[in-house]
Amino acid sequence: MSKKDKVFTVKVRRDFCKGCGLCIEFCKKEVLAASPKLNRMGYNPAEAVNSAACIGCLMCTQMCPDLAIEVYSG
């Protein structure tokens, strides 16, 4: 199975996210978007809105200053 055929799951830990938008800006596949709902800290966290488009590049995890994003394969 090639990387192209793999399925990836993107998990955003809502209460760790400050809504800076770096992950959204750097995701070339538009997997993430700002949630309309506030988290416990009063921020609009990122959320995965198109996980099927994720290619597992991990750019979102690298850009997140709060380590609030995890990407799983399988």
Structure tokens at 24: 């959204």
Q: What is the H or E stretch that residue 14 is in?
A: none
Q: DSSP letters along 26-52, please?
A: H-TT--EEE-SS--TTS---EEES-GG
**Structural domains present in the chain:** 3-73 (3.30.70.20)
pTM: 0.87
- Please, what is the average pLDDT of the chain? 94
Instruction: Give mean pLDDT, residues 5-31.
Output: 96
DSSP lists the bridge partners of residue 73 as: 8
Give the confidence band of 2 by pLDDT, cuts at 50, 70, 90.
low
pLDDT of residue 62: 98
pLDDT value at 65 more than 70: yes
Q: What is the H or E stretch that residue 60 is in?
A: helix 59-63
Condensed to tens digits (0 to 9), the pLDDT of residues 28-42 reads 999 999 999 999 999
Instruction: Give mean pLDDT, residues 43-65.
Output: 97
